[in-house]
Structures are given as C-alpha cells and as structure tokens.
Chains A and B, each alone.
Chain A
Amino acid sequence: MSATVLVVDDSVLVRQQVGRALTGAGFTIVEAVDGTDALQKLAANPAARLIVCDVNMPGMNGVEFLERLSANGNTLPVVMLTTEGQPELIQRARELGAKGWIVKPFKPDLLIGAVKKLTAAARA
C-alpha cells in the first residue's frame, strides 16, 4: 500500500506540482490550504505518514502549524517547502520537530528522495 503524504500550501500550483511529483513516485496525496485545514485533514486521514508544508500562508502559517503539532505530541515527519531560506527560521522549524527544509522552486527528484528517505526512516 502506498504511503499517504499531506501537502499543505495555499498555492494551487504548488500543491499540483508536489502532488504530481509524489503520486508519480507511488505516494497518495491529501491536500490542505493552510495549517488549520491541515489539522482537520490529519484528523480525517490517520494513515498520513509525512507532511510537506509551506511556511507563509494566510490563516495558520507553517510555523504555527508546527507548534500545534509539537504541542499535540505528533511525531509525523514534516518537510518545509517554502520560499524562505533564513537560518533563524530554519532553526526554529527544526526545534519544533521539522525533519527537512526545501527552498522553492523545488527540484522534483530532491523532494521525492527526501520523502522516500523520511517515510522509510519513520517505518524503521
């Protein structure tokens, strides 16, 4: 059975690009438009094995979403996919439990490799 990945981004284009890359690699995709939507989608999809999440989103942003996951004791691996590349922000996400950081525009092969590695590590 393919692993389910939750893709959180307010941009339809990005969700589409990430979705195409990951479904092509055998993953199942669930989409969310911001952190609040992502929390609801996670509750409705307990089979999710990894989250790919933007940082700057209207509503609940990616860092706030990480804070909520951390407070809830959620241990799913999260890869941040964002235009941001500032070390302070990356460090903050890391402290909140994020497992990876990719700066847009992304290379599909790199994203697929990271998702495969992290889902495999989570299974082990």
Chain B
Amino acid sequence: MNPPQNEMLLIIARHLVEVTTELFAAYGMEVIQIQSDAGDRLGPPDRESIVATIGYVGEKFRGALVLAARRTAVESWLAAMGENPETTDVSDTLGEFSNMLLGGMKSRLAAQGLPILLSTPTTASGHGLSLAVPSSPSLWIAFQGPSWRVDVCVAAMFEPGFRLQEAPVAREAAMDAGELLLF
C-alpha cells in the first residue's frame, strides 16, 4: 500500500520530535515545549539568526531538514555543553546539530521502510534572514528550552510510484546515539 504523503510526513515529523528531544537531553538540555508551526521563527531583524539545512534522498522521495535559531539560542546550547560561545563557531554548531538530528532519524526511518542517504549541512547567518515556504509538503515544529528556541522544518517530496519498503525485521538493528562498538 502507498500511504498518503501527509501521513508519511507525519511519520517523519514524529521521529524528528523524538530524536530532537533525545539529542538535547544527551547534552543535558531539556525541551520544555514543543509546538507545531509557531510562527515568528527568526524574531526581530536586529537580532542575528542562523539557519542550517541538510538534504536527504530515498527511493522515490527526497527532502530537507531546516533548523532556524537566533544566535543567542545556539550560544546558550554551547554554554550548556561546556563550550565557550565566544570562541566556538555557532553556525558550525547548528550545522552539526542538523547532522545529528537527521543521522538519528535515518536509523529510525530505515527500520520503518524508509532508508535515506544524507547530504552534509549548509549554514547561513545574518540579520533579517527570511525563510521561504518550501514548494514541497513540509511541517514546522518549534522546540523551546528555558532560554532558547529552535524551529525545525521537515520537508518531503514523494514521487509517483513511492512505496514503503519492506520493513527489515530480520536485519541487525542500527546503533543508537552514544553507543560504542569495538571490533
């Protein structure tokens, strides 16, 4: 059966919520509020903002993950992680978070019959950045901590003939974040 696009997008978004919450928890940060399409994503134009985007592709579908946050938000993450916000590249930090989020989602999506390949992240920073609405189906989710907020957009475009692949039940499970394997 070929599930409707919106249903697939919701499946991807559900994994995004779980992976994002786990990622911040791994760095000792708590997500206290999750809101769908919260609007006002980058705040006033006099504040510096950062955007990171990372693409993915699967069999007959493709899309991107976009993270948008104020510079002060990413600086607060760095402080929580024990890094010096003044000497650490905040754009690179948001890019690496986008990489870890999509990497975490990759394992979960593969287990659900949606294997993907990832690109590497691209970032942009500045004042007065504006975000165009993607032409493909997309969802925005705002994750908020005690003193920060990051808006994450997941976009996915499914081509005619897309089907969920057979769930790899018998396959060895993927490794999870934080796990170590020595050969």
Contacts and interface: CB of A to CB of B under 8 A. Distances in A.
Contact of A83 (B26, B102, B183): B102
A42 B60 CA distance: 40
Interface string A53-95: 0001110000000000000000000000011111100100010
Contacts of B92: 11-13
Contacts of A104: 99-100, 103, 177
Contact of B182 (A14, A16, A117): A117
A102 interface: yes
B34 interface: no
Given A13-B83, A16-B83, A86-B107, A100 B182 contact: yes
A12 B104 CA distance: 20
Interface in A10-25: 10-14, 16-17
A86 B89 CA distance: 29
Contacts of B89: 12-13
Nearest to B115: A86
A87 B174 CA distance: 6
Chain A binding surface SS class: mixed
A84 B83 contact: no
Contacts of B183: 94, 98-101
A105 B182 contact: no
A103 interface: yes
B107 A85 contact: yes
Interface residues of A, number: 33
B178 A107 contact: yes
A85 B175 CA distance: 5
A58 B123 CA distance: 14
A110 B102 CA distance: 23
B152 to A, nearest CB: 16
B175 A114 contact: no
B120 A56 contact: yes
A5 interface: no
Given A102-B180, A117-B182, A118-B182, A86 B174 contact: yes
Interface of A: 10-14, 16-17, 56-58, 82-87, 90, 94, 98-107, 110-111, 114, 117-118
30 contacts: A13-B93, A14-B96, A16-B88, A17-B81, A56-B120, A58-B120, A82-B103, A83-B99, A83-B106, A84-B103, A85-B103, A85-B106, A85-B107, A85-B176, A85-B177, A85-B179, A86-B174, A98-B183, A100-B181, A100-B182, A101-B180, A101-B181, A101-B183, A102-B181, A104-B103, A104-B177, A105-B100, A106-B180, A110-B180, A114-B180
- Shortest beta-carbon contacts, A-B, top 7: A83-B103, A85-B175, A85-B174, A87-B172, A11-B96, A100-B182, A12-B92
